[in-house]
Amino acid sequence: MSRLKVQGYGSLVREVSTNAIINTDKSEYELYMQRTRVREEQGDKIRVICKEINTLKADLREIKDLLKNGKE
């Protein structure tokens, strides 16, 4: 497995057999993973909030129906 340094970048190397660029800086990878985790957590929060909103909407519909039926 032969690697060549990418000119102008201290932490990048090119894998000769696949021509892939590889970042050898571990701290950059850690930052990438941290950002990925934060994005996933935000997506989870949004999904939970949407479920809560839909539940509240259904509850309001039910209350409105009960109020309408009580007037008749």
* pLDDT tens-digit series, residues 3-50: 999 999 988 999 999 999 998 888 888 999 999 999 999 999 999 999
Query: CA–CA separation, 36 vs 69, rounded Å?
Result: 50
Query: CA–CA separation, 25 vs 11, rounded Å?
Result: 5
pTM: 0.58
Q: Cβ neighbours of residue 22 under 8 Å, at least 6 residues apart? A: 3, 12, 13, 14, 15
| DSSP one-letter code for 10 | T
